[in-house]
Amino acid sequence: MSKVTIFNHPLIHHKLSIIRDENTNTKDFRQSVNEIANLMAFEATRNLPLKEVKTKTPISLATTYMLDCEVVIVPILRAGIGMVDGIHSLIPTAKVGHIGLYRNEETLEPQLYYAKFPPTLPNAIVFLVDPMLATGGSAIAAINFIKEHGGKNIKFMSIIAAPEGVERLAKAHPDVQIYCGNIDRQLNEDAYICPGLGDAGDRIFGTK
């Protein structure tokens, strides 16, 4: 079973309240999503590998440490784009790939319409990001596609998740670490997370 990390941080709780509020405007919603992603990434990157280097300070040589890995951020379009800057601000050397999925109205399964990855993907630590984990279908499909293209070390980050989606994703990909800002009560009959925060993509980009 996948390891699931649920963040219990005062600042994340505070910012979750902002993005849940139906009266929060687009600017504040988008800013808060980025800030939550930044806070989550700080913890999610805690175990990234390091290498020892010698650094010349103005005084003398020092033993210091630098990242010893490639990092690739992959947002699931379109809402996942709202989390990229928050992570990139911590790891500015990270490359960014993209996955676009839509739901087939006949099969109700996610269909790929766009994918682009940097060549470093197979040897990188991959952060797949999407603000919402509802049924888990899109996340599972995206991870399948990343693995087909050589990705092996994958971490999934979601701000709000439904327990049904977490369980389904963990069962489908037990090797993927799952990070959630909060796990909500349930999915409703329309597969929306309750209490959730509405459509993250619409609220990030100001669309309806």
**Of the residues 5, 20, 78, 199, which is catalytic?**
199
Tell me whether residue 47 is exposed, middle or buried, using C-beta atoms within 10 angstroms of its C-beta: 0 to 12, 13 to 18, 19 or more. exposed
Find the catalytic residue in 24, 103, 175, 203: 103
Burial of 194 (0-12, 13-18, 19+ CB in 10 A): exposed
The residue type of 164 is E
Catalytic residue check, 103 = yes
Of 20, 78, 85, 202, which residue is the catalytic one? 202
The b-or-e profile of 49-71 (16+ CB within 10 A means b, else e) is eeeeeeeeeeeeeeeeeeeeebb
Q: Which is the catalytic residue, given 107, 120, 168, 184?
A: 107
30 catalytic? Reply is no
28 is catalytic: no
Identity of residue 199: D
SS3 204: helix
Nearest to 2 by CA among 205, 186, 178, 159: 178
The helix (run of H) or strand (run of E) holding residue 124 is strand 124-129
Residues in the chain: 208
Catalytic positions, please?
103, 107, 199, 202
